[in-house]
């Protein structure tokens, strides 16, 4: 059984619970972000980088909107990653991401990322077998370097079923205000589901490491995904601050901290050990 097969796509969150948990986690995220940015202290904290990957129509945009919503726009940057330009292709594939990375006290959210090399570029043949084959080690080395310099790196995969993706595609196609999100390539890619699933499984297994474990989020219900994303980000930030001896803001700075999950959500591979050490 693969990693994706273990995701419980039946997870549900009620509308009332979503509001309560998003509010609680959002307030905590704001306090942590202000602390890391130096607004609640005199020193800058470690940089924060949140990476979103997932199936088309998995709800990445909505989850990102809820994640950055509690924050001042001046304190976070959202970077949308498209296909590399002609000039970018003249460099190593990781080159184009360096200018977007946050420095100490900063925060960047990537809507897709360097993982395109081992996903779309692998499946669609935009990278050679040799190029995407060595990319796993290059990515892990890249991420470990960032984390060794202090970065808190949160990696999220949003998982939905083949059927739910089709339903969302059809709703987009019928909505004049959302149909721009859908193109012929999106429909064609559905025929390559098996190839993409294998690429995802390889990515989750080969690029999971203690410094930056993968978190696989059940996104079959959008409310559940939005809550999980916010709460997981908060927990990663608290763990990263503890690693670098940055004092956590007191829980009473907002209406409460984020409680540890009691549903046994696993991190991928070596990340399970790292997650178990995360402070609640």
pLDDT over 70 at 253, yes or no: yes
Q: What is the pLDDT of residue 251?
A: 85
In whole angstroms, give the CA distance from residue 258 to residue 248: 13
pLDDT over 50 at 147, yes or no: yes
The domain ranges of the chain are 4-276
Say which range, 16-20, 138-142, 256-260, has the weakest mean pLDDT: 256-260
Helix (H) or strand (E) holding 52: strand 48-54
For residue range 17-36, what is the model confidence (pLDDT) as tens digits? 999 999 999 999 999 999 99
Q: Contacts for 9-13 with beta carbons within 8 Å, 24 or more apart?
A: 9/159, 9/160, 9/161, 9/164, 9/218, 9/220, 10/218, 10/220, 11/218, 11/220, 11/221, 11/224, 11/263, 12/221, 12/223, 12/224, 13/221, 13/223, 13/224, 13/227
For residue range 211-228, what is the model confidence (pLDDT) as tens digits? 999 999 999 999 999 999
Q: 10 Å Cβ neighbour count for 44?
A: 17
Q: What is the pLDDT of residue 254?
A: 61
Nearest residue to 20 (alpha-carbon basis) of 183, 255, 195: 255
Greater pLDDT, 189 or 257: 189
Q: What is the pLDDT of residue 126?
A: 96
Residue that the structure tokens 């009473």 belong to: 252
Angle at 276 between CA 273 and CA 278, to 5 degrees: 115
pTM of the model: 0.90
165, 190 Cβ separation under 8 angstroms: yes
pLDDT over 70 at 260, yes or no: no
Rg (CA), the chain: 18
Query: What's the CATH fold of domain 4-276?
Result: Rossmann fold (3.40.50)
pLDDT over 70 at 262, yes or no: no
């Amino acid at each position: 059984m693969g990693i994706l097969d273990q995701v419980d796509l039946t997870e549900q969150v009620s509308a009332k619970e979503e509001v309560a948990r998003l509010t609680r986690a959002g307030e905590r995220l704001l306090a942590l972000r202000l602390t890391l940015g130096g607004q609640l202290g005199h020193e800058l904290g470690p940089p924060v980088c949140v990476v979103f990957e997932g199936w088309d129509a998995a709800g990445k945009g909505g989850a990102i909107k809820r994640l950055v919503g509690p924050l001042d726009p001046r304190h976070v940057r959202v970077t949308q990653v498209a296909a590399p330009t002609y000039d970018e292709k003249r460099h190593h594939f990781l080159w184009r991401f360096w200018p977007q990375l946050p420095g100490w006290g900063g925060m960047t959210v990537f809507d897709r990322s360097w993982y395109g090399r081992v996903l779309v570029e692998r499946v669609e043949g935009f990278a050679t077998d040799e190029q995407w084959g060595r990319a796993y080690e290059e990515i892990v080395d890249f991420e470990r370097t960032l984390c060794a310099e202090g970065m808190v790196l949160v990696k999220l995969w949003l998982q939905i079923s083949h059927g739910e993706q089709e339903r969302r595609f059809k709703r987009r196609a019928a909505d004049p205000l959302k149909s721009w999100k859908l193109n012929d390539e999106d429909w064609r890619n559905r025929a390559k589901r098996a190839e993409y699933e294998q690429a995802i499984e390889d990515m989750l297994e080969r690029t999971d490491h203690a410094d930056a474990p993968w978190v696989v989020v059940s996104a079959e219900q959008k409310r559940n995904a939005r809550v999980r994303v916010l709460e997981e980000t908060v927990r990663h930030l608290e763990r990263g601050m503890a690693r670098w001896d940055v004092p956590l803001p007191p829980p009473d700075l907002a209406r409460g901290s984020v409680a540890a999950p009691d549903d046994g959500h696993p991190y991928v591979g070596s990340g399970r050990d790292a997650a178990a050490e995360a402070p609640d």
